[in-house]
Structure formats: C-alpha cells, structure tokens
Copies of this chain bind each other. A is one copy, B any other.
Amino acid sequence: MFAPQAIGFVRSPFQNTEAIPKGLGARHSEEGTLELLPEFAQGLTDIEGYSHLIVLWTFDRSEGFELMVTPPSDDHPHGVFSTRSPRRPNPIGLTIVELLRRENGSLHVRGIDMLDGTPILDIKPYLSNIPEEKLRRGWLAEAEARKR
C-alpha cells in the first residue's frame, strides 16, 4: 500500500464539525480554497476548463471506524459504506465542488464541507452524470420521504 501524503490543505470557514451543515436537506454552498503545496501546483494545469471537481481528502480529526453508523439524516443504523460517515476503515472524504477561479496553486471553490486545515489527497475532474432516471438513493430517499 502507498503512504498517503497531503498535496495541499483546505481553507474553509468551518473550524469544528458542529458548524458543517449535515443531515437531510443540508446544503453545502460555502466558499473556500484548495491550497496546493507549491511542489504540486503544476498539476493543476488546464483545470480551469472544468466547472466541477472531485476532491479527495482525509478525515484527519476522526479516529477509528465502526461498521454500523447512525447518520444525522436518520434515526437508525446503516452500514458505513451506505453512508458518508467519517468513521470509515480508510478515513477518506469526497466532496464535489464548483470551481470558481484559480490563482496559481489555489483553487477558489464553492461547496466546501471540510474543516479548515483538512489535508487534500487528490483532485480529479468531474466528468459526467449518471442519467437522473437511473438514480436510486436507498435508505436516504426513504428518510427524506418520512420527513416530508
């Protein structure tokens, strides 16, 4: 296995997890910055052409994992791989952000849901959608329906 290394860090308005919108209907519209370390900045070449990016990062302030978790959006437990819980066997988070602009090694983005200082592992282009009519969202859709 590889040894993960930070390619940069998130600058975010969120200093603690309580501040991050969670649960049903949570909207992530906060702006923030993905600041790459200078030695990785060249890897951003041509990224301006993409409207959306996939950011992989680490839950660096979470410890351990559990296989069954009760997420903020429901009142009973689900398998961790059916949720976005931070307490995962590999504590890797994924966020899709909208790219607003680039300034050298910094990407200004919208849709931040990471804590300030979160280490970034990877950035990938968001290329395509699953056809909407083919998308099912399991227990989460059921939890939403119960709430309505």
Contacts and interface: CB of A to CB of B under 8 A. Distances in A.
A141 B90 CA distance: 33
B50 A136 contact: yes
A140 interface: yes
A112 to B, nearest CB: 16
A16 interface: no
B129 A84 contact: no
Size band of the A side of the interface? 35 or more
Contacts of A52: 130, 134-136
Given A84-B124, A122-B90, A47 B135 contact: no
Interface in A102-146: 119, 121-130, 132, 134-142
A115 to B, nearest CB: 16
A121 B94 contact: no
Closest 8 A/B residue pairs (Cβ):
A49-B138, A45-B79, A51-B136, A129-B129, A81-B123, A43-B67, A42-B67, A43-B80
11 contacts: A1-B5, A43-B68, A45-B68, A49-B138, A54-B94, A81-B122, A81-B123, A82-B125, A88-B122, A125-B140, A128-B137
